[in-house]
């Protein structure tokens, strides 16, 4: 093998390409900007405004976010007196890192034995359940469980961030996150478990390859998962942790400058990863494509789900903490139990 083909081999190695290039970090950075831009622009359309405009008029103010980020980067990072500076700076970085971690095990496409750019890695990412390779950063047969486990770490670091900043608003925000995370994790867990029971597998790739979108097979689980996703990523109407008029910015209250930018990103990244899982489980994933087009198709659908969830801002207000908790435990949790039984019945009758 010459140098170029070695380079090509490592460049397209799924653990690198999927995580870093597409649809990994680089796409995430672009989508982050686009999602915030879309959020502002769509809200502006609803609210009789223009929205971002002056930074690059030709693209409708798309570069406004870049300008904002640059401004933040060059503004002072204030570290409060009575905090541990190391932990204070570390907390947002850890949060960002943890928020992107679950993506490593989310399958975005499959690798056919030949014909795809990823075909050389067919055997390394071979999934015996479907007899194909799976395009994901790290393949296990139990990726559904692993994704949930990694997502469940995320709230701990939000609480850590609030605790480290030693601010009362931040601590109140952390307490709210603690209470909410218990409820939304249960919702997401129940929704995915009902899908797993329905499709008799813990492998996301196998659920997709079955060819039945989960939203048809189990619409209740889809609803529960979507609302759990909204709560989990602090989208309206569950923007309770960072409720601006109550808690300033919740756990991120003390952060300024570049650190503040870092604290803003994880919620969107979390939402985007949940969108990927939602697309895989409920919207048919990459089918009927394979390889790179399949990954692009999955990412496109995930972006649409993400855009839909950020659009909620222009329609809804914010629920109170106890209302969100009551809603999730009193109404959505029984619904998720029903989805579980529904999934078992349908899985027994239809998806053998």
CB of 42 to other proteins, least distance (A): 11
CB of 169 to other proteins, least distance (A): 7
| CA atoms of 25 and 303, how far apart (whole Å) | 14
- Total binding residues toward other proteins, as defined by CB under 8 A: 30
Binding mask 281-320 for other proteins (x = CB under 8 A): --------------------------------xxxxxxxx
Nearer to other proteins, 297 or 319 (CB): 319
Candidate list 67, 140, 142, 246; residue touching other proteins; CB under 8 A: 246
CB of 175 to other proteins, least distance (A): 8
CB of 238 to other proteins, least distance (A): 10
Contact window for other proteins (CB under 8 A) among 190-198, 245-253, 263-271, 282-290: 245-253
- Which residues, 326 to 345, sit near other proteins by CB under 8 A? 326, 330
Q: Is 128 in the site for other proteins (CB under 8 A)?
A: no
Q: Is 77 in the site for other proteins (CB under 8 A)?
A: no
Candidate list 49, 57, 113, 123; residue touching other proteins; CB under 8 A: 49
Q: Is 51 in the site for other proteins (CB under 8 A)?
A: no
CB of 245 to other proteins, least distance (A): 3
Tokens of 306: 């993400």
CB of 173 to other proteins, least distance (A): 11
Q: Is 8 in the site for other proteins (CB under 8 A)?
A: no
> How far is the CA of 86 from the CAs of 122, 164, 202, 348, in angstroms?
43, 10, 39, 54
Q: Is 237 in the site for other proteins (CB under 8 A)?
A: yes
Q: Is 57 in the site for other proteins (CB under 8 A)?
A: no
**Residues lying near other proteins in the complex (CB under 8 A):** 43, 46-49, 168-169, 172, 236-237, 239-240, 243-246, 248, 313-323, 326, 330
């Amino acid at each position: 093998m010459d140098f170029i083909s070695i380079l090509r081999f490592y460049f397209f190695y799924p653990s690198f390409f999927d995580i870093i290039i597409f649809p990994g970090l680089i796409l995430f950075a672009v989508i982050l900007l686009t999602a915030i831009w879309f959020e502002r622009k769509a809200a502006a359309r609803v609210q009789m405004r223009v929205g971002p405009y002056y930074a690059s008029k030709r693209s409708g103010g798309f570069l406004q976010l870049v300008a904002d980020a640059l401004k933040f980067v060059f503004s002072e990072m204030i570290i409060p007196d009575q905090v541990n500076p190391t932990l204070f700076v570390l907390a947002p970085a850890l949060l960002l890192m943890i928020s992107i971690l679950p993506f490593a095990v989310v399958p975005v496409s499959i690798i056919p034995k030949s014909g795809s750019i990823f075909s050389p890695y067919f055997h390394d990412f071979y999934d015996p359940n479907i007899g194909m390779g799976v395009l994901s950063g790290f393949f296990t047969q139990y990726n559904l469980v692993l994704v949930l486990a990694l997502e469940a770490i995320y709230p701990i670091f939000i609480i850590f961030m609030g605790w480290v900043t030693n601010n009362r608003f931040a601590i109140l925000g952390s307490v709210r996150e603690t209470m909410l995370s218990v409820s939304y994790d249960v919702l997401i867990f129940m929704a995915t478990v009902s899908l797993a029971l329905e499709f008799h597998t813990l492998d996301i790739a196998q659920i997709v390859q079955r060819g039945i979108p989960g939203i048809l097979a189990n619409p209740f689980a889809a609803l529960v998962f979507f609302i759990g996703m909204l709560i989990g990523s602090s989208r309206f109407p569950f923007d309770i942790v960072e409720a601006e008029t109550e808690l300033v910015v919740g756990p991120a209250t003390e952060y300024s400058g570049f650190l503040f930018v870092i604290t803003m990103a994880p919620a969107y990244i979390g939402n985007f990863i949940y969108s990927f899982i939602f697309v895989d489980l409920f919207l048919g994933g990459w089918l009927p494509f394979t390889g790179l087009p399949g990954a692009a198709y999955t990412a496109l659908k995930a972006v649409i789900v993400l855009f839909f969830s950020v659009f909620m801002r222009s329609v809804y207000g914010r629920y109170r903490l106890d209302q969100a908790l009551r809603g999730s435990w009193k109404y959505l949790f029984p619904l998720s139990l029903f989805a579980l039984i529904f999934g078992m019945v349908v899985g027994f009758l239809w998806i053998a």
